Structure 1
Amino acid sequence: MKIPLSGPDLGEREKELVLEVLESGHLGLGPKAVEFERMMAEYAGTKYAISCNSGTSGLHMLVHAMGIKDGDEVITTPFSFVASSNCVLFERATPVFVDIDEQTYNIDVTQIEAKITERTKAILPVHVFGQPANMTEIRRLADKYNLKIIEDSCEAIGAKWKGKPAGALGDAGVFAFYPNKQLTTGEGGIVVTDDEELANLCFSLRNQGRGEDGLWLSHVRLGWNYRMDELSAALGIAQMERVEDILKRRQAVADMYFEKLRDVPGIILPQSVEDAEVSWFVYVIRFAPEFNRDEIMHTLSNDGIGCRPYFTPIHLQPFYMEQFGFKEGDFPVTERVAKGTLAIPFFTNMTEEQVDVVVAKLRAQVQVNV
């Protein structure tokens, strides 16, 4: 049995709404994007939602809209997808990394304050794998030092911190909808915020800097083509109509893994904290140091089991090492965690039979590698 690492959950409703768009002939800047934005703002509990073509674009717009520029610093985590730091570099600012908490894999909030300087303009926490970061402490520090908070919630739609939705815990947040995410629009993202000025700027920036009056070919600032098309928005509407069901089914798959893997020696399962409600983006296990993660990964892959290391530390990516002089040992917890983590097959429609196959393969490999 071949089991993919991930896969989207698409049905008849998605086909129906996409066909509506095709038959309408209105493929961009249309009513579907507006409706999707309304649904997302309501779900996140924010006043505004601005759709765009990717989570990366959403993060970039926020960095720019907040006036972060050359010479400024943004505190973030090295254990993430590279876009959460690249978005800072796009504006020639500097990402300042803080090591992670070994339990949650999120930014270690006890180390943030020591990294704040007069050049620090924002904190950009990442809710890694759908696990909310400690936003209480991040908000306290942001308020103390007058810093902005950009929430990278690209992996965390539906997650909550102390009962409040991820994305609505900072000055603005971003969700992403790549096909491996909880919800998908194919490609796409969305910014959510309560800040009217910030929202208006993002509406303009995503559409080539067009003015708030919406006049055709009237551009009042530098912007980009970061728009979401109507076909993507149609998928988003259909997905949002059943978001709670999708998240519930993903939780059920995670629960199966917890039950079936909890007694496997040498495998560390995902851990949470009391105030966090996880939204399952991926299911990432971690091998104890005595196991060879890469050898196990290659064997599983050869057996048809989709798996990938999640994540490779950003500071050890070749470009970051060349640009900033990072080296091994700079962020030891991140590096220790990254050497052992492995994302195993996880998707909304995953069956118990598929979970059992993955678990059996893992058990066999642990016995061989012990």
Structure 2
Amino acid sequence: MIPLSKPYITQTEIDTVIDVLKSDRLSMGKYTELFEKEISKIAKTKYSIVVNSGTSALHLILKSLGIQQGDYMIVPSFTFVASANVALFEKATPIFVDIDPKTYNVDPNALEDLLKKIEQGRMHISGQRVRIDKVRFFMPVDVFGQPVDYDAVEPIVCKWNLKMIEDSCEALGSEYKGKPCGSFGEAGAFAFYPNKQITTGEGGIIVTDNEEIARMCKSMRNQGRGEDEAWLNHVRLGYNYRIDELSAALGYAQLTHLEDILYKRDNVAKRYSQMLSEYDWVEPPYIANYATKIGWFVYVIKLDEKINRDRIIDYMSSHGVQVRNYFSPVHLQPFYKQLFGYTEGMLPVTEKISKSTLAIPFYTTMTIQEQQTVVEILKEAVERVG
């Protein structure tokens, strides 16, 4: 089986983790601090606060910005469900915006149209009219490592006085016009699940230039302790969102060869695009001209609408190649439909794209031979069952 993804682990990572195991500090030790400092250098932000998942990072950012019951947060539906769930954690409501058909990121025109619709009183959720003064947050997602067009969305954010939180959980190493993803808006977040550019096993991090956000997030990740982190002294509601020292050490070791990882993943992506270019039934990932660097997370292709994507998945899986649909729209997830009455037809571009996108095997150490096998099995699947 050629897996969909696998982490890139070298002897450096193994030695660094063993170093932690030989120490007497398995939580909040030197590697936690070192990892945070290195991520700040990459994101070019003043502060980094490492936590146990990307979801936790996004939640703490929203919490530090004062999200509360009755608020609304605009977010794309073409994303991992956590991007929207974090609003629900605080009894706020996600409002979904449609995407650009090429980049799969937030469509600035759709964002502007959505806000005008809300202002005019033409948007209802769960039978209640959405008030424009309650639309306080906007969470763009740098999907698959492709940066959002920030020059296009930032004037809209300013016009409507929205607080922008950048979900860069899939975009470590990506740049928008030379500026690192994660450094736009009030704060950003990266995630380090095993299929990401680098991994901590489970983990995420908040990056920001805002001292108050950093202070609040650092406290809340550690059960609401004060700045001195005194034992059993809790100054606010907090959570156990700490990362363990083993995970932080793994992440720190990964960062020592981040550029090599990004270089190798970029080569894998380029080889795929070249291999697939001869077929008219598939579209390789589109890279916008403002994306000056892509930190490749996954490699997602778009199949011709006439092809039965589910049969392709079954065929390739049964022939030793693991593939997945990426993404299923969040607004059509069963519990979102039940909670808010969301239905098909709300987001036509999102719904159309999601029926045709397919993630094929992609990882740092992938060989040309493995890629050739993937493409051959994909071609065979399209010819036989597509």
Q: Same fold (TM over 0.5)?
A: yes
Alignment of 1:267-346 (within 5 A): 267-276=282-291, 277-346=293-362
Partner-residue secondary structure (3-state), 1:286 = strand
Q: Tell me: CA distance 1:310–1:31, structure 2 relative to 1, closer, same or farther (3 Å).
A: same
Shift of 1:140: 1.4
Partner-residue secondary structure (3-state), 2:242 = coil
Identity %: 50
1:158 aligns with 2:158: no
- Indicate which of 235, 246, 249 corresponds to 2:264: 249
Partners of 1:175 and 1:286 in 2: CA distance: 25
- Indicate which of 163, 182, 188 corresponds to 1:173: 188
Shift of 1:223: 0.5
Question: What's the counterpart of residue 96 of structure 2?
Answer: 97
Question: What's the counterpart of residue 70 of structure 1?
Answer: 69
Partner-residue secondary structure (3-state), 2:243 = coil
Question: What's the counterpart of residue 27 of structure 1?
Answer: 26
- The answer on whether the counterparts of 1:96 and 1:115 sit within 8 Å (CA) in structure 2 is no
Q: Which moved more, 1:154-163 or 1:108-117?
A: 108-117
Shift of 1:369: 4.3
Shift of 1:269: 1.1
Partners of 1:351 and 1:36 in 2: CA distance: 30
Partners of 2:344 and 2:303 in 1: CA distance: 20
Alignment of 1:176-215 (within 5 A): 176-215=191-230
Partners of 1:112 and 1:246 in 2: CA distance: 34
1:264 aligns with 2:279: yes
Q: Partner amino acid for 1:170?
A: G
- The answer on whether the counterparts of 1:270 and 1:283 sit within 8 Å (CA) in structure 2 is yes
- Indicate which of 361, 366, 369 corresponds to 1:353: 369
Partners of 1:3 and 1:246 in 2: CA distance: 19
Number of aligned positions between the proteins? 369
Q: Partner amino acid for 1:297?
A: I
Shift of 1:62: 0.7
Partners of 2:210 and 2:114 in 1: CA distance: 27
Partners of 1:344 and 1:60 in 2: CA distance: 30
The unaligned stretches of length 5 or more in structure 2 are: 116-131
Partners of 1:157 and 1:289 in 2: CA distance: 31
Partners of 1:51 and 1:138 in 2: CA distance: 27
Partners of 2:233 and 2:152 in 1: CA distance: 43
1:122 aligns with 2:137: yes
- The answer on whether the counterparts of 2:143 and 2:170 sit within 8 Å (CA) in structure 1 is yes
Q: Partner amino acid for 2:107?
A: D
TM-score normalised to the size of structure 1?
0.98
Q: Which moved more, 1:268-277 or 1:313-322?
A: 268-277
Partner-residue secondary structure (3-state), 2:324 = coil
Partners of 2:231 and 2:113 in 1: CA distance: 48
Q: Partner amino acid for 1:94?
A: T
Let me know the Cα RMSD of the aligned residues: 0.9
1:41 aligns with 2:56: no
Partners of 2:113 and 2:216 in 1: CA distance: 32
- The answer on whether the counterparts of 1:177 and 1:186 sit within 8 Å (CA) in structure 2 is yes
Partners of 2:233 and 2:111 in 1: CA distance: 42
Q: Partner amino acid for 2:359?
A: A
Partner-residue secondary structure (3-state), 1:150 = strand
- The answer on whether the counterparts of 2:98 and 2:110 sit within 8 Å (CA) in structure 1 is yes
Q: Partner amino acid for 2:59?
A: H
- The answer on whether the counterparts of 1:75 and 1:115 sit within 8 Å (CA) in structure 2 is no
Shift of 1:296: 0.8
- The answer on whether the counterparts of 1:209 and 1:224 sit within 8 Å (CA) in structure 2 is yes
Shift of 1:264: 1.3
Q: Partner amino acid for 1:268?
A: E
Partner-residue secondary structure (3-state), 1:74 = strand
Shift of 1:174: 0.3
- The answer on whether the counterparts of 2:315 and 2:385 sit within 8 Å (CA) in structure 1 is no
Partners of 1:80 and 1:254 in 2: CA distance: 21
Q: Partner amino acid for 1:50?
A: I
Q: Partner amino acid for 1:341?
A: T
Question: What's the counterpart of residue 141 of structure 1?
Answer: 156
Partners of 1:181 and 1:84 in 2: CA distance: 16
The unaligned stretches of length 5 or more in structure 1 are: none
Query: What does the per-residue CA deviation read over 1:2-40, in whole Å, with 9 as the maximum and x for residues that have no partner?
Result: 200000000100011101100002000111100100000
Shift of 1:304: 1.1
Q: Partner amino acid for 2:98?
A: D
Moved over 6 A (4+): none
Q: Partner amino acid for 1:225?
A: N
Query: What does the per-residue CA deviation read over 1:167-196, in whole Å, with 9 as the maximum and x for residues that have no partner?
Result: 001110000000000100000000000000
Shift of 1:218: 0.6
Question: What's the counterpart of residue 234 of structure 1?
Answer: 249
Partner-residue secondary structure (3-state), 1:182 = coil
Shift of 1:328: 1.1
Shift of 1:142: 1.9
Q: Partner amino acid for 2:142?
A: H
Partner-residue secondary structure (3-state), 2:328 = coil
Shift of 1:118: 1.3
1:53 aligns with 2:40: no
Q: Which moved more, 1:46-55 or 1:117-126?
A: 117-126
